Structure 1
Amino acid sequence: MLETDKIFAGSIPENYDRYMVPLIFEPFAADLARRAAVLSPNAVLEIAAGTGALTRVLVPKLSSGASYTATDLSQPMLDYAASQQASDRRIEWCQADALALQFENAAFDLVCCQFGAMFFPDRVTAYREARRVLKPGGHFLFNVWDRIEENDFANDVTNALAEMFPDDPPRFLARTPHGYHDKAVIRRDLESAGFQSLAIETTTEQSRAPSPRLPAVAYCQGTVLRNEIEARDAGKLQAATDHATSAIAGRHGSGAVAARIQAHVIMAVA
């Protein structure tokens, strides 16, 4: 992962929430929220909350006496998440680095993270921190994307941009969001952090959009991929989005489109 892969600023948070969340994050947020609710946690920490896709669906499933601490490294993402969340006294918003959490030992029943682990510069350290703040027997629940070839729209966009920039193709999607998919590596990292009881399940959902244009805009303008496109040619963001639109239409049709999205869901016990 490059240092620039963590820069979710400018218009990216709004476009991310407007386009990316309904396109690929909502189905998996519902899945994580369902799994989390079964555990009946009283104290929850969310790491890398982003624009709050998981927060919005999980908090209503918790008891009235539960507490929920939503964190993210990016203050702009966290600010946007808070602005989209209904007022709820159970939620505390605070900026936090997953590699150096500011919380006490054994403070939470559940630590959850939706599609954030791929961005951790040192995953073992982050997992060790998650284990530290969990009560004995507490759960660490998170998901990561499977390889890009199993996620059709992301793969379509990446291939289209490689055609447009053959000498220096933007590889953010393959490198970072889809770069941490090896289940053996994930298991090894968790065990290195002290987790001994863990399960990894691969789940598949459908990504749906009313037109090929929406996923093209979502990926090209609602993720850090935008920074990579503009770094190559500041004037070609629209042309890149158009080319990605054509590539998606060529594979999935010009009307409403649907494609596979696939992820690993991990549950580890402290």
Structure 2
Amino acid sequence: MSTSTSAVSFRQYGGNAAENYDRYFVPTIGTPFATALLDTAGLQVGERVLDIACGTGVVTRLAAQQVGPTGAVAGLDVNQAMLAVARSAPSSGTAIEWHEANAESLPLADGSFDVVLSSLGLQFVADKASALREMRRVLAPEGRLAIATVGPTPPLFAILEEALGRHVKPEVAAFIRAVFSLYEPQELEKLTSGAGFRNAEVRSKTLSLTLPEPREFLWQYVHSTPLAAAVAQIDDEARAALEHDVVAGWRTFTKDGTITDDICIVLTTARK
């Protein structure tokens, strides 16, 4: 892999991380996770739904369609740029309220929702116990909780983690570990029950993802995440080495120009 080719590969993606997340991550990974979470949640027409760590709103918009115009849906995220993209996207069903806040301190009334959802967000929350207590507080009696996390780290992402540690910095590679850090059933059951929820249940399900060809997926993923800033700080030679190692490692997952990988979604459900 030449340095110039790698430089072009990295630099051809413009926009901010939130726009790239919505453009690249949501269609390939975010949407399959959202669909699996909502299948588990079993939303009903007219329900009031809160989506925590909503990002650019893929779960939120699908929930709005499912509860219809008689329902109520809110999306909440700490990231202003993600919310800006979420607000700009068209939606159908009920109108969506957007809130900028963190999960540990929800600016919402007690008992104001029938269902609380969160997809691929809880693993990044610093105080998970406080966040779950807040989720329970805003639920109505008998309200439902449905959370999607992911793990353990699949081989595809283990290859990326190792290459980031080698060519960027070990602390940058720690982002990948954080993504896949919350998947143990015992830990999730303990967290959920400890926050006062009843009937906590944790189930794992394998999703088969189809992703772009390796070089394309590498840089799309990097530019959709906080990794972009760190990778921008290394030189073209180091980026070329990173690309070379990742693309070589991902070759076994590639067929007919696309990557196919199985990834484990972890679905935690409970009741207030």
**TM above 0.5, one fold?**
yes
SS in 2 for 1:170: helix
Deviation, 1:37, is 3.6
2:86 match: 81
Structure 2: any 5+ residue segments left out of the alignment?
A: 1-14
**Distance in 2 separating the partners of 1:88 and 1:223:** 29
CA gap 1:237/1:115 in 2 versus in 1, 3 angstroms:
farther
**Distance in 2 separating the partners of 1:16 and 1:36:** 24
CA gap 1:87/1:252 in 2 versus in 1, 3 angstroms:
closer
Q: Given that residues 172 and 228 in structure 1 are in contact (C-alpha distance below 8 angstroms), is that contact kept between their aligned partners in structure 2?
A: no
2:182 match: 180
1:13 match: 18
Structure 1: any 5+ residue segments left out of the alignment?
A: 1-9
**Distance in 1 separating the partners of 2:24 and 2:174:** 18
1:237-261 CA-to-partner distances (Å, cap 9, x unmatched) read: 8533454333323543572220111
- 1:152-167 maps to which residues of 2 (within 5 A)? 152-165=155-168
The amino acid that maps onto 1:154 is F
SS in 1 for 2:104: coil
Aligned residue pairs, count = 257
Q: Given that residues 200 and 264 in structure 1 are in contact (C-alpha distance below 8 angstroms), is that contact kept between their aligned partners in structure 2?
A: yes
- 1:39-188 maps to which residues of 2 (within 5 A)? 39-40=44-45, 42-86=47-91, 90-148=95-153, 151-165=154-168, 168=170, 170-188=172-190
Match of 1:227 among 216, 229, 240: 229
**Distance in 2 separating the partners of 1:13 and 1:156:** 24
Q: Given that residues 64 and 73 in structure 2 are in contact (C-alpha distance below 8 angstroms), is that contact kept between their aligned partners in structure 1?
A: yes
**Distance in 2 separating the partners of 1:206 and 1:12:** 25
1:42-84 CA-to-partner distances (Å, cap 9, x unmatched) read: 2111111001121232221113210101110111101111212
Q: Cα RMSD between the aligned structures?
A: 2.3
1:97-133 CA-to-partner distances (Å, cap 9, x unmatched) read: 1101111111100010111101111000000000000
TM-score by length of structure 1 reads: 0.86
CA gap 1:234/1:104 in 2 versus in 1, 3 angstroms:
farther
Q: Structure 1 vs Structure 2: percent identity of aligned residues?
A: 27
Deviation, 1:17, is 1.4
1:168-210 CA-to-partner distances (Å, cap 9, x unmatched) read: 3632343311111222111111111111211111011112124
| Rg larger in structure | 2
1:22 match: 27
Deviation, 1:19, is 1.5
Deviation, 1:161, is 2.3
SS in 1 for 2:74: strand
Q: Given that residues 46 and 111 in structure 1 are in contact (C-alpha distance below 8 angstroms), is that contact kept between their aligned partners in structure 2?
A: yes
Q: Given that residues 60 and 74 in structure 2 are in contact (C-alpha distance below 8 angstroms), is that contact kept between their aligned partners in structure 1?
A: no
Q: Given that residues 160 and 247 in structure 1 are in contact (C-alpha distance below 8 angstroms), is that contact kept between their aligned partners in structure 2?
A: no
**Distance in 2 separating the partners of 1:68 and 1:268:** 19
